[in-house]
Structure 1
Amino acid sequence: MLAEGPIPVHIAFIMDGNRRFARKQNLKEGAGHKVGFFALLAVLKYCNELGVKFLTAYAFSIDNFKRRPEEVQYVMSLLEEKANEILNEEHILYQYGVRVRFIGNLKLLNEPTRIAAEKAMEATAKNDKIVLSICVAYSSTDEIVHAVQEVCNDKRSNIQTLALAADNTTNEIYVDAREGIDRDSTIKLADVERHMYLAGIPDPDILVRTSGETRLSNFLLWQTTHCFLHSPSVLWPSFTLWTLIWIILDYQRAQSYLDKKKKLI
């Protein structure tokens, strides 16, 4: 049935309900996040088998740092542990050819977690079957501000380079200094998009938020203009293949309508 319709290229997930799952199952605080990680691996396997090329998961927002210190430390330790596991070439991500990207303001992570994330990204950089972007220390507004700041820095640097070259009396140096320099100080849409954390990745076709919540919670606000939104009631750790299949079937049913909306823009 799925093969009769378009398969989404990129699916994004807000993995909501880990803490509620733990409470319902009488698990220790934080255990829901660990179960949620295994659910993410299962979904990654399903997406790989279905032909989905990009998977983005909202693991920890900047606002989540306001939670109890014990919970924040548990999540950071879990991220560090799982990032270090990826360094093992027998890890399941290598079997599926997964490239891992940690997306967000990584400077906010503690040093061991940040170093582990950087090593995992480096170790999987050559994998090319599916890209898994894990958003940590992330918010969409932070991503947009970061991109605009980077564009402004680029423009300022170009202007300073041109000014220095214009003051130089050697014409050869002036020409070399101008080569490859953008003389237009106007900030364009393409400039901002080039500096987004998710630059180079197509916008999501589907955004899924589990646990029945219908808020975007500052996630991918820039990238979800034409995105199909789905909010199943299932808690994230209980997400199954059948949940994913029904989401994709709903997307296929709405896809022609979404395409028409895109063409109107």
Structure 2
Amino acid sequence: MSWIRDNSMTWMQRLCAQVLTYGEIPKHVAFIMDGNRRYAKKNCVAKKEGHVKGFDKLAETLQWCLHLGIKEVTVYAFSLDNFKRTQEEIDALFDLAREKFKRLLEEKDKLNEHGVCINVIGNIKKLPEDLVKLIAESMYITKQNNKTYLNVAFSYTGHDELTNAFNQISNGIKNNDLEESDLSVEILDNCMYTYPSPPPDLLIRTSGETRLSDFMLWQCAYSYIYFTSVLWPEFTAWDFMIAIFMYQRNFRAIIPFKLPTKKLSSKAEKFVENVQQNRLNSLYAIA
């Protein structure tokens, strides 16, 4: 299955999507794609097949987002907690990831045509070397694109992200790259794996679970969170548009709680730039 699918919406769904565009469309939507294993059990197929169907649904959902003009999408693909699963399932997930990132490299012209920039966020060094290389190549060949951003959280948890950010800041102060007076919400924001992405406007979680599962804990403080009982592989364009509609009904209640950001000092700006550039350079060197 391609990363970018042809539009699968029916004419009625496209009409409803057009109506939605007259309202507020979220600029950044995040997904906790839950329910692949339950889908496999429900349909009496192997867990790997459930994950394959889950990726197919991601490709379809990306097309819906493109159709609605959503600028940025972040998906929770593999949690650090997933390393606690059986080795057989972990290997199957990594094999699927290898297959899909290889497919992405084959489809680079299509991705560039749509202006899709791929960014993989997380503790990448915990992944197999060959998979890291595929990830690095995928990020490198799309880094100039700026129409749509797809952030794939892989080997990720919010706690690990915060720990990494605190360590970066602590080292910055020790090395005199930062002043203690630079410590702020903004400097922490800018040291996250997700930087420079804005926080999600809308977070959608499928499968009926009503928790964040350690996903973007810091960034989703003022996001509208929509839970649906639908399993991820069974998520439809109608389900997606209901989530967008619910966001449109509720987003104004969240706006007053969003605090204005403060400008960083020139020293802090240089520090942040170095932190992010070093991370990218280390990946691009592998590519």
Partner of 1:243: 239
In structure 2, relative to structure 1, the CA distance for the partners of 1:14 and 1:254 (3 Å cut) is: same
Partner of 1:6: 24
**Whole-angstrom CA distance in 1 between matches of 2:80 and 2:161:** 11
SS in 2 for 1:224: helix
Q: Which runs of 5+ in 2 are unaligned?
A: 1-18, 262-287
Alignment of 1:94-113 (within 5 A): 94-113=112-131
**Whole-angstrom CA distance in 1 between matches of 2:209 and 2:179:** 46
**Whole-angstrom CA distance in 2 between matches of 1:251 and 1:108:** 35
**Whole-angstrom CA distance in 2 between matches of 1:91 and 1:32:** 28
Would you say the 8 A contact 2:108–2:141 is kept in 1? Answer: no
**Whole-angstrom CA distance in 2 between matches of 1:39 and 1:45:** 10
Q: CA RMSD in A?
A: 1.8
Count of aligned positions:
243
SS in 2 for 1:127: coil
Alignment of 1:194-209 (within 5 A): 194-209=190-205
**Whole-angstrom CA distance in 2 between matches of 1:38 and 1:7:** 24
Q: TM-score, normalised by structure 1?
A: 0.87
1:89 positional shift: 3.9
**Whole-angstrom CA distance in 1 between matches of 2:92 and 2:147:** 31
Q: TM-score, normalised by structure 2?
A: 0.80
User: Structure 1 vs Structure 2: percent identity of aligned residues?
Assistant: 40
Would you say the 8 A contact 1:83–1:120 is kept in 2? Answer: yes
SS in 2 for 1:256: helix
Would you say the 8 A contact 2:169–2:178 is kept in 1? Answer: no
Bigger radius of gyration: 1
- Per-residue deviation, residues 136-178 of structure 1 (Å, max 9, x unmatched): 11000000000010111122122xxxxxxxxxxxxxxxxxxxx
The answer to whether the aligner puts 1:262 opposite 2:280 as a matched pair is no
Partner of 2:143: 125
1:259 positional shift: 1.8
Q: Which amino acid aligns with 1:244?
A: F
Partner of 1:149: 167
